[in-house]
Structure 1
Amino acid sequence: MTKKQTKRILRIVFIIASITSLAFVPWILVKAWILPLPDTVQEQVNETIGHGLDGMIVYVDQSGKPPELFAAGWHNRENEIPADPKALFKIGSISKLYVAVATAKLVKDHRLSLDKTLADYLPELEGRIANADKITLRLMVQHRSGIPNFTDTPGYWEDISRDNRETLELVLNKPADFDPDKKYSYSNTNYLLIGEILDKTLGYSHHQYIKKEILIPLELNNTYSLLSEVDLDDVMSGYYEGYDDDIKYNDFINPAGSMLATAEDAGIFLRALNDGSVFNEGEQEIYSSIYVYEHTGLLPGYSSIAKYHKDIDAVVIQFVNTGGGYSWNLSEIVYNRIVKILKRQKSS
């Protein structure tokens, strides 16, 4: 067999393999990915609702342009209330960015030390959390502690209204996932514990500290720490594939992801995080050494993406109020398409 024939056979095998692999990819995702890119963000948002998502909000803050909001679908599908771009949304783990900023501020103020251990801060947990005497605050912020993730507990999502202590009980006396600082593994338990450390250090709720040090200075008047602080009518309804009821009433209260915000408020915060204006002198250097500048959030019925794109100097926030099935995969595809639209507009 000649070299040319070999190359031809390999090319055919590759094509067959590619076609075969597509058979195992949900066609709704293939369709969302291969459709021609619309001219505008609003057209993309409208198109996405046609893929089966209930509702969607997008906020874009691009340098040189006024910030823009886009929405489509339902705020509440039972009552056929259209999606409101100014609605409150459960931002899930994006909350961790605010907690990490608060931590950096308290470290700069010498009220916390990144090198002190979990046992130093919460001695009652020594012997109940493996390696508590070796896990530093730094490792918890960075998800390098090895502490098991409470949301991985079987049946956890059947009752998310547990308070912090009840939630913590789910992982006490369990073996570590790995030795401290040996690898990275995302664990919501880290931020539950950081919240407890902040509360103990402050002598009051870290939610109040976040409001005083972050929300008020940035004039984030539509950002809240807990569902109990808001009018539920202002909150975008949440839906889960295979479950008909609105699940916005589920109250996720621990510091790993309890916050609510409008897309605009989330965008203003993310811009301030990335340009450094949320920090006082010396705080950003600390933050940069411990945590990231973007995040996603997932709760039943809610998914969110918050990122800054340096190449086009744009903050893009995306909220989707559908969970389960392939909704998260679809959300990521759509987010990337929105960014492509913005890049194309920037270059034209």
Structure 2
Amino acid sequence: MNKPRRTSLLALGALALALTAPAAVAAAPAQAETVAPLQKALDDLVKKDKFPAALATVQDEFGQERFYTAGVGDLKTKSEVPQDGRVRIASNTKMFTATVVLQLVGEGKIKLDTPIEAYLPGLVRGKGGDGRRITVRQILQHTSGLPDYDEIVFKGFPKSLGTYREPRQMVDYALKKKALFKPGKSWGYSNTNYVLAGLIVEKVTGRSIGDQITSRIITPLGLRDTYWPDARDKGIKGPHPQGYLATSPKQPWMDVTTFDPSSGWAAGQMIGTPGDLNRFLFALLNGALLDPAQLAEMKRTVAAPDFDSVGGARYGLGLGTFKLSCGGFAWTHGGNAPGYTTRNAVTKDGRAAAIAVTALPVTLKGAKNVEKALDTALCD
């Protein structure tokens, strides 16, 4: 689960493939030219693409925020969508994990071009890959060739959503599959890469990846609505819309707000808000979390053909890019988890936006329209 692959979001089967806050201002009336395009985009996600709810937070280059919602927060009670509510941010977790790894690189505890065998001796052995031939850089960049473990997440679905899994269990499952390609020879998104990155962090620090993300990123940045769920913590704390899942456009929505997030782990376990995602990404790209050398490494990208629906996307170390309709590109990631899809990005001049919908898309058109809403937020 939790992949942000922008072309592979068709219901459950696609999910198995995908696996100091600034001052805020209220949004202007819907008819105002600067607000209408994004509000209309969210309204269309609900009315035309049938998402139960959509919410967005946009931050301008001066740090001011605007909030938008559409739909209902709960299909049963018809409650309002909480403004900047908490959602499962899924694969956006990878940006946090990569940031911690790069901080440890700056501290001399990890080397990017050292084989992962040096940190996890004997762990990565199998049809899926060999840790003696895969570097830390390659797992952060998704150029390792390691296959994903995503099928295990949905074996026995929907009961499987309540199953707790250990990180090494997921790695072992992936290693039984055939490697995607030889290390460094291509690009292929795999949650397995970031489970291994989390295990490396724990090995070199002696502390859990969740503790490291909290102490190194969440607390210093004051991300009050972002957190790493405790072991077997299946709910979402604080104001949040319910999350839903359907296997086809004709199927009724299933409430999947509550489930065990352990299968995401360092690749996709976190919970947060669109506003906190904006603040994190803005801080990251402006050097608040990484020294210049490590930030430069993070921004060294390679072609990532399946990372967006437009084409031309590239991926660095836990951070990608996509083209904007108004010209140029934005730094991005995004994430998919049962019940929630998020798309978020920040531009070179400091504009940031994050969009969340409370389901995985059940059509390709719906998936693309979530991306278009993000482009609208940044370009209009």
SS at match of 1:223: coil
For the pair 1:336 / 2:372, whether they are aligned, the reply is: yes
* Structure 2 length-normalised TM: 0.74
In structure 2, C-alpha distance between the alignment counterparts of 1:343 and 1:173, rounded to whole Å: 44
* Aligned mate of 1:119, from 95, 117, 120: 117
Aligned to 1:15: none
What's the offset of the Cα at 1:171?
1.5
Change (3 A) 1:74 1:210: same
For the pair 1:247 / 2:245, whether they are aligned, the reply is: no
In structure 2, C-alpha distance between the alignment counterparts of 1:174 and 1:323, rounded to whole Å: 26
For the pair 1:208 / 2:211, whether they are aligned, the reply is: yes
User: After superposition, what is the alpha-carbon deviation per residue over 1:10-51, rounded to whole angstroms, capped at 9, x for unaligned?
Assistant: xxxxxxxxxxxxxxxxxxxxxxxxxxx983422332233111
In structure 1, C-alpha distance between the alignment counterparts of 2:132 and 2:197, rounded to whole Å: 15
Aligned to 2:306: none
* Aligned mate of 2:199, from 196, 199, 202: 196
**What amino acid does structure 1 have at the position aligned with 2:240?**
V
What's the offset of the Cα at 1:76?
1.6
8 Å CA contact 2:191, 2:267 repeated in 1: yes
For the pair 1:181 / 2:184, whether they are aligned, the reply is: yes
* Aligned mate of 1:60, from 37, 58, 61: 58
What's the offset of the Cα at 1:240?
1.3
Mapping for residues 269-284 of structure 1, pairs under 5 Å: 269-280=280-291, 282-284=293-295
For the pair 1:217 / 2:220, whether they are aligned, the reply is: yes
8 Å CA contact 1:116, 1:137 repeated in 2: yes
Mapping for residues 322-333 of structure 1, pairs under 5 Å: 322-326=359-363, 329-333=365-369
In structure 2, C-alpha distance between the alignment counterparts of 1:323 and 1:221, rounded to whole Å: 26
What's the offset of the Cα at 1:156?
4.4
* Aligned mate of 2:353, from 316, 332, 336: 316
What's the offset of the Cα at 1:275?
2.0
In structure 1, C-alpha distance between the alignment counterparts of 2:57 and 2:277, rounded to whole Å: 9
8 Å CA contact 1:151, 1:157 repeated in 2: no
Structure 2: unaligned runs, 5 residues or longer: 1-33, 301-315, 320-330
Change (3 A) 1:231 1:38: closer
Mapping for residues 1-40 of structure 1, pairs under 5 Å: 39-40=36-37
What's the offset of the Cα at 1:102?
0.6
8 Å CA contact 2:274, 2:354 repeated in 1: yes
How many residues are paired up?
306
Change (3 A) 1:141 1:249: same
In structure 1, C-alpha distance between the alignment counterparts of 2:202 and 2:374, rounded to whole Å: 39
8 Å CA contact 1:38, 1:44 repeated in 2: no
For the pair 1:86 / 2:89, whether they are aligned, the reply is: no
What's the offset of the Cα at 1:325?
1.4
In structure 1, C-alpha distance between the alignment counterparts of 2:98 and 2:41, rounded to whole Å: 33
User: After superposition, what is the alpha-carbon deviation per residue over 1:282-302, rounded to whole angstroms, capped at 9, x for unaligned?
Assistant: 432332245224102111221
Change (3 A) 1:193 1:153: same
* Aligned mate of 1:301, from 339, 349, 366: 339
* Aligned mate of 1:42, from 19, 39, 42: 39
In structure 1, C-alpha distance between the alignment counterparts of 2:373 and 2:76, rounded to whole Å: 29
In structure 1, C-alpha distance between the alignment counterparts of 2:216 and 2:269, rounded to whole Å: 18
For the pair 1:138 / 2:176, whether they are aligned, the reply is: no
Higher mean C-alpha deviation, range 291-300 or range 193-202: 291-300
What's the RMSD between the two structures over aligned residues?
2.5
**What amino acid does structure 2 have at the position aligned with 1:87?**
G
* Structure 1 length-normalised TM: 0.80
In structure 2, C-alpha distance between the alignment counterparts of 1:225 and 1:183, rounded to whole Å: 32
Structure number with larger C-alpha Rg: 1
Change (3 A) 1:340 1:155: closer
SS at match of 1:305: strand
In structure 2, C-alpha distance between the alignment counterparts of 1:229 and 1:251, rounded to whole Å: 5
In structure 1, C-alpha distance between the alignment counterparts of 2:338 and 2:353, rounded to whole Å: 22
Change (3 A) 1:243 1:193: farther
In structure 2, C-alpha distance between the alignment counterparts of 1:38 and 1:299, rounded to whole Å: 28
In structure 2, C-alpha distance between the alignment counterparts of 1:145 and 1:343, rounded to whole Å: 34
Aligned to 2:267: 256
Change (3 A) 1:338 1:104: closer
Percent of aligned pairs with the same amino acid? 24
**What amino acid does structure 1 have at the position aligned with 2:260?**
D
In structure 2, C-alpha distance between the alignment counterparts of 1:65 and 1:204, rounded to whole Å: 34
SS at match of 2:36: coil
In structure 2, C-alpha distance between the alignment counterparts of 1:299 and 1:340, rounded to whole Å: 23
Change (3 A) 1:154 1:339: closer
In structure 2, C-alpha distance between the alignment counterparts of 1:78 and 1:140, rounded to whole Å: 42
In structure 2, C-alpha distance between the alignment counterparts of 1:209 and 1:151, rounded to whole Å: 25
SS at match of 1:75: coil
Structure 1: unaligned runs, 5 residues or longer: 1-36
User: After superposition, what is the alpha-carbon deviation per residue over 1:30-85, rounded to whole angstroms, capped at 9, x for unaligned?
Assistant: xxxxxxx9834223322331111100111111224721111111222112211112
In structure 1, C-alpha distance between the alignment counterparts of 2:215 and 2:153, rounded to whole Å: 37
